[in-house]
Amino acid sequence: MRIAIVGGTGSFGLALGQRLAAAGYDVVIGSRDADRAAEAAAGIGVAGAANADACREADLVVLATKAEAAVDTAHGLREAIRTTPVLSVAAELTFGPSGVLPTAEATSVAARIQDVLDAPVIAGLHSLAARNLGRDEPPEEDALVCGDDAEAKAIVLELAERITAGRAVDCGPLGSARALEGLTAVIVNVNKRYKAHAGVRISGIP
Ligand SMILES: NC(=O)c1ccc[n+]([C@@H]2O[C@H](COP(=O)([O-])OP(=O)(O)OC[C@H]3O[C@@H](n4cnc5c(N)ncnc54)[C@H](OP(=O)(O)O)[C@@H]3O)[C@@H](O)[C@H]2O)c1
């Protein structure tokens, strides 16, 4: 399965790309600049391409641009993505004196991406920090995933299962994305308070 990582030159995209490649996926790192994509991709031993070219060949598109650019980027790639399933990992955060807060937007980034695409959008992996994903061993964390399209969600749950030492947890419909994205703010605050690199594990499920 070929996975395009749009904005894959960032710390999250590269850590995810490296882990997906190690799990046997065919990964293409995307960038607004084809040369930057090629250079970053070479560093982890995978292919690189301009974002639109990466999307055209993909079986799954991961939108991993900086969070504030995710919706506009998805809109701009609409023709290249067509009906290919999309995974949104974006969480918009606001940094203030009292700590980190979730976005004040009324809807999740993932829901806004769904509004501009014909493809099914899945949201997930928000709680996996690039730093934890990029270690030698897969992180001992669960990966939380939500979405409305069962087939697309199954693809993402399978890849999530293969990049963590924890479980891939189906968190229900795309409406859950608001909570999953907001959880990122909680984790950043925990990290600051405890000088940690926290992740999430869900208890009470088999
Ligand atoms: N960092 C983490 O630990 C973490 C964990 C979970 C989820 N996430 C999510 O993963 C995503 C990427 O995180 P990151 O820390 O890797 O972000 P980042 O380094 O800030 O940005 C990733 C890439 O986005 C592209 N980009 C920047 N501005 C853009 C714009 N205006 N339009 C289109 N593309 C633009 C850049 O690629 P090019 O310049 O090469 O195009 C950049 O390398 C975010 O949505 C974040 O919420 C991050």
Ligand 1 atom closest to Cα of 32? 41
The pTM for the full model equals: 0.98
Q: How many domains, the chain?
A: 1
**85 occurs within a structural domain:** yes
Instruction: Tell me which of 5, 6, 9, 12 to substitute to probe ligand 1's pocket, judged by most ligand atoms within 8 Å of the beta carbon.
Output: 12
Share of the chain above pLDDT 70, in %: 100
Task: Give 125-170 pLDDT, tens digit per residue.
Answer: 999 999 999 999 999 999 999 999 999 999 999 999 999 999 999 9
Task: Give 162-203 pLDDT, tens digit per residue.
Answer: 999 999 999 999 999 999 999 999 999 999 999 999 999 999
Sequence length of the chain is 206
Nearest CA-CA partner of 122 in 78, 161, 90, 99: 90
Work out whether strand 93-96 and strand 99-102 pair parallel, antiparallel, or are unpaired: antiparallel
Instruction: Tell me which of 65, 95, 181, 183 to substitute to probe ligand 1's pocket, judged by most ligand atoms within 8 Å of the beta carbon.
Output: 65
199 lines ligand 1 (CB under 6 A): no
Give the domain extent around 183. Answer: 2-194
d(C-alpha 203, C-alpha 15), whole Å: 26
Q: How many CB atoms lie within 10 A of CB 163?
A: 22
Ligand 1 atom closest to Cα of 133? 3
* Mean pLDDT score of the chain: 97
* Residue 90 predicted with pLDDT over 90: yes
**163 occurs within a structural domain:** yes
User: What pLDDT, on a 0 to 100 scale, did the predictor assign at position 36?
Assistant: 98
User: What pLDDT, on a 0 to 100 scale, did the predictor assign at position 206?
Assistant: 85
Look up the CATH number of the domain holding residue 135: 3.40.50.720
At position 65, the amino acid (one-letter code) is T
Nearest CA-CA partner of 90 in 54, 56, 127, 55: 127
d(C-alpha 71, C-alpha 75), whole Å: 6
**88 occurs within a structural domain:** yes
Which residue shows structure tokens 């829901």?
Answer: 111
Do the beta carbons of residue 127 and residue 188 sit within 8 Å? no
**148 occurs within a structural domain:** yes
**133 occurs within a structural domain:** yes
Task: Give 31-89 pLDDT, tens digit per residue.
Answer: 999 999 999 999 999 999 999 999 999 999 999 999 999 999 999 999 999 999 999 99
Show the 3-state SS of the chain: CEEEEECCCCHHHHHHHHHHHHCCCEEEEEECCHHHHHHHHHHHCCEEEEHHHHHHCCCEEEECCCHHHHHHHHHHCHHHHCCCCEEECCCCEEEECCEEEECCCCCCHHHHHHHHCCCCEEEECCCCCHHHHCCCCCCCCCEEEEECCHHHHHHHHHHHHHHCCCCEEECCCHHHHHHHHHHHHHHHHHHHHHCCCCCCCCCCCC
**149 occurs within a structural domain:** yes
